[in-house]
Structure formats: C-alpha cells, structure tokens
Structure 1
Amino acid sequence: MSGSGRTRTAMEWLASAAPDPDACRWEWERHPMGVALLPAGRLWDVLILIGKLGHPTFDVLSRVIDRPGPVLADHGSARIGFFVPPGTAGRWLGTGVRAAGRGSWIVVPHPTRTARGVRWLVPPDGSGLLTDPAVLEMSMHEAAAVIARSAGEGDTG
C-alpha cells in the first residue's frame, strides 16, 4: 500500500472512533490546531505514563516487539500515551499510570502530522494494531528497574 493509502487507512481507523467521523476528519484537515478530540473505550484505551517512565518504557517496548501500537507524546514529552485494547483501562491496577477508557476523551493529531501540544511517536497504521497490555507492563517493569539502577549509581553512600 502506498504512503497516501496508509495515511488514509490510518485516518479512517482513528476517525471511526469519533461520534462524527466526518467532523473529525474536518478538524484534522482544516482546523489550525490540527487535532481532534476522540473518545477512548470503543476502539482503544490509552495508558498514559509520565515521561520519566514513559520514555524508557517506549525504548524497552521498541526493542521487545517489532511494532507497538500507536503511541502519543504531549508537548515536551511530559506524558506518553500507549494505545491498548478497549477494556484495559478498567482492569489496570498499576500506580502512577492514568488509564483512559470508556468515558475519557483523548486529543489526537492527524496520523501523519505533529500538532500543537501532541505528536505521534508511533502513528497508527490503520490496521487496528494495539499494544498488548502484558507486554507493555513487562516493559514498564524493566524500564523502572533501569531507572532504579541509574538512581542507585548516583548515590555516593
């Protein structure tokens, strides 16, 4: 599939989560902010980590699997959002992670653009691929261990 075909497929997949997919596409194409507000919980949930844990988790996840599901970062990468299967938010028990599921809304940029305040680290490909929550959790644990080791190395005793 060509790049423009993948973009169209990714845009259609994301827009299908919106109550009004046509309005969603209009927001991406014509609104100066270039973002749409989409409901979580239908096609995907989003697990949002603070950047201090989110970036190392993303690094581990990228080494563990060929391609994670879509991943968003906010301005300054203070928060990283991993798209996971619907229902994950309701079952998530980890601390320090915001779980956005049914009843939550997410600011989502066009699949191929950076918008003010939010950008894709891994854009959707239109296939519906999402990150497996178990693999994400394992990556979070490994990232937390790396962070703890690094903090321990800075101790002078």
Structure 2
Amino acid sequence: MTGTGASGTKSAVEWLASVAPDPGACRWEWERNPHGVALLPAGRRWDVLILPGELGRPTLDVLTRLVSRPGPVLADFGDARTGFFVPPGTAARWLGTGVRGAGTGTWIVVPYPGRATGGVHWLVPPDGTGTLTDATLLEMAMHEAAGRLGRPGRDA
C-alpha cells in the first residue's frame, strides 16, 4: 500500500506524535534520527497486535478484502513480524496463540510516515484520522489466512 500524500503525512505525523510524552521532541527526533524512527508508547490511542510474518501478510491480504482501508500496519526488518494498530485495550484482552500485544506500558518503534527507513516500515501508513483496525475483523482475517496457509496446494 502506498503513502497518504503530503497533507495526509502531516496529519499522520501529528496523530502519531500526540501519544509521545513530548510531541515536539518526537517530531524533532523523527526529523534528525538517521533511521527515521521514534519510540512511541502504545495503549493511549492504539494498541498493536503483532503477528508472525508468515501469518501477517496473508492476514493483511484478507483484511483488505473486508474493508476499504484498515488501520495502520507495520512490518519489521525482513517482514518477520507484522503489527496491526487496533483500539486501546485490545492487547490486554487478546488470547491468540503466537500473537503478541503491545498495549499500556509498552513502547514500539514507529517509522516516520511517508519516508523509507530501510527497517521498520509501513505496509499501511496511518491516515491521520485515527482509523484503527477492528479487532473482530482482524481475528476473522487471521482465521481465514491461517486456514489458507494450512491447505496443501493453496494459492498464495
């Protein structure tokens, strides 16, 4: 998926930085950090559910067939893990095997929207409106993706 355009990127930056203890320092760090990333606390405006890469991409494929635009989605170095931004409180209630949750009390590495970082990157960048992925839809998409992964001769 592609970026959100210049005005969307500015809105996305403001939305993400708003959770930082010091939003101005966060923006400053993003602009000056050679890796283009900042650490942001989860659990305020969003939690992140982190799936193993082999399930994350297929789940995103299913999810994009269910909704026109899911919430933000991150991938880490080598796409080993995929993180879906979901409503706050979701991580504390999530019981899925192999899925890690980042909620209150945790921090995640977040790349600057619209800028290539060479590491952690956006598969679906935030749009600045606060759109998040519905946890129920994400769970349905995960089940469908896992079912497809388990079928011999599946079409990937």
TM-score under structure 1 length normalisation: 0.93
Structure 2 residue aligned with 1:41, among 33, 40, 43? 43
Structure 1 residue aligned with 2:83, among 71, 81, 84? 81
SS, match of residue 129 in structure 2:
coil
Code of the aligned partner of 1:138: M
1:4 to partner: Cα distance = 2.0
Code of the aligned partner of 1:142: E
CA distance in 2, matches of 1:49, 1:3: 27
Runs of at least 4 residues off by over 4 Å = none
| Paired position in structure 2 for 1:123 | 125
> Aligned residue pairs: how many?
151
| Paired position in structure 2 for 1:146 | 148
CA distance in 2, matches of 1:92, 1:34: 30
Question: CA offsets per residue over residues 49-97 of structure 1, 9 Å max, x none?
Answer: 0001111101100111100000000011000000000000011011100
> Structure 1: where are the runs of 5+ without partners?
none
Structure 2 residue aligned with 1:105, among 104, 107, 113? 107
Code of the aligned partner of 2:46: W
Code of the aligned partner of 1:48: I
CA distance in 2, matches of 1:126, 1:119: 17
RMSD across aligned C-alpha pairs, in angstroms?
A: 1.3
Code of the aligned partner of 2:29: E
Question: CA offsets per residue over residues 96-139 of structure 1, 9 Å max, x none?
Answer: 00010001100000011122420000000100000000000000
CA distance in 2, matches of 1:126, 1:15: 11
CA distance in 1, matches of 2:123, 2:98: 21
Code of the aligned partner of 2:135: P
CA distance in 1, matches of 2:13, 2:60: 23
| Paired position in structure 1 for 2:12 | 10
Code of the aligned partner of 1:61: L
- Tell me the percent identity: 70
> Structure 2: where are the runs of 5+ without partners?
none
Code of the aligned partner of 1:131: T
TM-score under structure 2 length normalisation: 0.93
